[in-house]
Amino acid sequence: MRALQIAGHLAAEREVTLLAPRPEAAAAAAAGPPPADLPYQVETYRVSRGAAAAGVARAAVSGQPLQSGLFRQPELSRKLRALAPRADLAILQLSRLTPHVDDLGDTPFAVDLIDSLALNMERRALYDRLPLRPLLALEARRLLAAETALARRAAAVLLVCERDRAWLAGHLPEEVAARLHVVPLEVEPLRVEPSAETEAEAGRAAAPDVQRLVFTGNLGYFVNVDAAVHWLADVWPALRQRWPALRVTLAGARPAPRVRRAVASSAGAELIDSPPDLAAVLAGAGAAVAPLRAGSGVPVKVLEAWAAGVPVIASRWAAAGAGARPGFDLLVAETAEEWCDAVGRLRADAALRHRLAAAGGARLQTEHSPAAVGAALRRALS
């Protein structure tokens, strides 16, 4: 989605070619051909599993990030070598494409890291299973080396949040760090068609008694798995003891077995696997929770809650990723005691809930609207 948004913005002023992996036959048949009215040209390249396996082996030996090996594709190289000489700017997405920088020849290029994968892996190495931590820390160092090398060669480097930009800048010389720019994610307000059930839930949420919390996201992604499991174990029992009628809903795709077990053993918790209407799930909640300890970039669950007009309680790490002002855009909590205090404040103060939701909506308009993102992109590439 990020690539489509950037291509759309650039196509308003330039001739743009989007080069993307060719979907497998079944997926291509289900999706159909690209829309005829796209403002940019689309070209695809074939992904070879054999080439990916060979790329990982080569990366392991050469000291490159293992993730970059997965993206070393012969047909991508050929397409880049053919297209790059005809372009005045190339944009590579993610540091995983480091092996293909030389395919661009003399064409100036920018890199849209989105978020710092090095930071992501460094945080994961703090919280994943003990046997994996040394390997994850090694991959974090390799990713940082790759992001540093890209920043030295690129005309500009894009990231979606200031926290990641500042972290990466701290590892770079000042003249290289100056090439780092924040181009936020583009988010539209969620539109909900109210049903009788949704209106009933919304009515309860508007009362001075928050009855349901919601946690959203890809529930198979480590960052969310870790957050959900530790929050249900360390925080949720204290909340339920204080308010026995309080409920929490976890909603998202591909729930990991650890998440399913944690929900099953937590009184008052429910799991919605791949909800057909996430906006409706959010609209019926009194508050959204984002207790993330790991990850990088912007926690999309915070932006989605703001887009749905729902107040947020987040960890300090998640709040920093969203660029949020604690107490103004959301509430921050770490310990079980702090979570109880934050939930208690929202339950008792309808005006606070309204103010936080309104502030989140205003942040979306000023920083994540199409106009704001387009302006930030033009500044970064100017």
pLDDT, tens digit (0-9, with 9 covering 90-100), for 190-213:
655 544 344 444 444 444 458 999
Q: Is 242 helix (H, G, I), strand (E, B) or coil?
A: helix
pLDDT at 35: 82
The answer on 314 and 201 residing in a single domain is yes
Q: Mean pLDDT, to the nearest integer, of 37-49? A: 92
Query: Could you write out the DSSP letters of every residue in 283-300?
Result: HT-SEEEE---S--S--H
Does residue 230 share a domain with residue 112? no
Answer whether residue 366 shows pLDDT above 80.
yes
Mark whether 257 and 301 lie in a shared domain. Answer: yes
CATH number at residue 23: 3.40.50.2000
Same domain, 224 and 253: yes
**Residues contacting residue 44 through CB under 8 Å, at least 6 positions apart:** 19, 20, 21, 22, 23
Q: Is 157 found in the same domain as 26?
A: yes
Query: Domain check: are 333 and 249 in the same one?
Result: yes
Residues 41 and 112 grouped into a single domain: yes
Percent of the chain at pLDDT exceeding 70: 93
CA distances from 162 to 171, 182, 186, 289, 298 (A): 15, 6, 15, 21, 9
pLDDT of 29 reads 65
Could you tell me the two tokens for 31?
Answer: 């999706």
How high is the mean pLDDT of the chain?
A: 92
Alpha-carbon distance values, 13 to 39, 47, 154, 381 (Å): 10, 31, 21, 12
Do 159 and 222 fall into the same domain? no
> Same domain for 100 and 211?
no
Q: Are residues 176 and 129 in the same domain?
A: yes
Domain that holds residue 87: 2-186+370-381
pLDDT at 190: 65
Number of structural domains found in the chain? 2
Residues in the chain, total: 382
